[in-house]
């Protein structure tokens, strides 16, 4: 399909179902979840383990073929913790797995297929269990991780920094830089004095951003009729 042919009434029903599912099954999987969270395709979101918290206005975009996975799995009871700040964006295929502690600051953005692990899961000589193989991972505020980047144990990434797509971060990255490569190295410095818009700006008036998105969606589906949608389901053409 070249575009979404679903009529607005159908999309509203599906959104209500997703909201119910999110509140009934996804939200309780967090130890704490702030107000205004939105989950796209919540049926595919996988949240497992204790000590998982997220702040306000988390935007989690999952997909049945690219599930978002947020997991704590410590070698001792109660070990492993994930803390996600306010206004964060998590894209399809992201995996965050903690045996020690992973912290994301406010307004962080994780692009598709990003992996963050704070543990090697096996030792070089003791490969039966994770033994002294973990170290905390910390992302500062407004950190942007590019698609398919990997963040390994013990890494700290400073405020406002960007990690290029496909990079593997094995050492600390300072604030206000762009880093890329394998292993990731600083390739550009950002001006810390220049004004920077963050995701927090989208929610400065609370839920009004989600309402605006709803109005945009309604506008772009004005021409979608039930009959035309059914036709595309039963017998789509090359023009659909």
Rounded mean pLDDT, 180-201: 95
Whole-number pLDDT of residue 206: 87
pLDDT tens-place string over residues 70-100: 999 866 655 899 999 999 999 999 999 999 9
Q: How far is CA 59 from CA 55, 78, 108, in A?
A: 10, 27, 11
pLDDT tens-place string over residues 124-144: 888 877 667 899 999 999 999
What mean pLDDT, rounded, does the chain reach? 93
For the sheet containing 95-98, what is the strand order? 46-48, 69-72, 95-98, 115-117, 150-151, 168-169
**Set 5, 59, 65, 117: catalytic member:** 117
What the block records as the tokens of 2 is: 């070249």
**117 carries an active-site annotation:** yes
User: Coil, strand or helix: which one is 174?
Assistant: coil
Q: How far is CA 169 from CA 80, 115, 116, 146, 191, in A?
A: 20, 10, 10, 11, 22
Q: How far apart are CA 3 and CA 233, in angstroms?
A: 13
Q: How far apart are CA 97 and CA 119, in angstroms?
A: 8
Whole-number pLDDT of residue 1: 62
Q: How far is CA 135 from CA 42, 131, 132, 229, in A?
A: 30, 11, 8, 51
Domain over 8-234 is classified CATH 2.160.10.10: yes
Rounded mean pLDDT, 140-168: 98
4 vs 49 pLDDT, higher one: 49
What is the percent of the chain where pLDDT is above 90?
72
């Amino acid at each position: 399909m070249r575009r979404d042919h679903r009529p607005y009434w159908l999309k509203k029903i599906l959104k209500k179902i997703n909201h119910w599912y999110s509140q009934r099954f996804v939200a309780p999987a967090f130890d704490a979840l702030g107000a205004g969270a939105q989950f796209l395709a919540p049926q595919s979101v996988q949240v497992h383990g204790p000590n998982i918290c997220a702040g306000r206005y988390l935007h989690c975009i999952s997909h049945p073929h690219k599930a978002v996975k947020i997991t704590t799995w410590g070698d001792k009871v109660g070990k492993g913790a994930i803390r996600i700040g306010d206004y964060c964006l998590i894209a399809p295929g992201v995996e965050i797995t903690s045996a020690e502690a992973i912290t994301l600051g406010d307004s962080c953005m994780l692009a598709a297929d990003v992996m963050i692990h704070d543990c090697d899961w096996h030792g070089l000589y003791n490969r039966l269990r994770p033994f002294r193989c973990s170290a905390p991972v910390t992302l500062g505020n407004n950190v942007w991780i590019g698609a398919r980047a990997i963040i390994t144990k013990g890494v700290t990434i400073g405020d406002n920094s960007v990690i290029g797509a496909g990079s593997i971060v094995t050492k600390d990255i300072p604030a206000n830089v762009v880093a890329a490569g394998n292993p990731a190295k600083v390739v550009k410095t950002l001006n810390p004095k220049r004004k920077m818009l963050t995701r927090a700006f989208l929610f400065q008036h609370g839920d009004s951003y989600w309402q605006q998105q709803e109005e945009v969606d309604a506008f772009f589906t004005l021409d979608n009729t039930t009959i035309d949608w059914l036709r595309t389901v039963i017998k789509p053409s090359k023009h659909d």
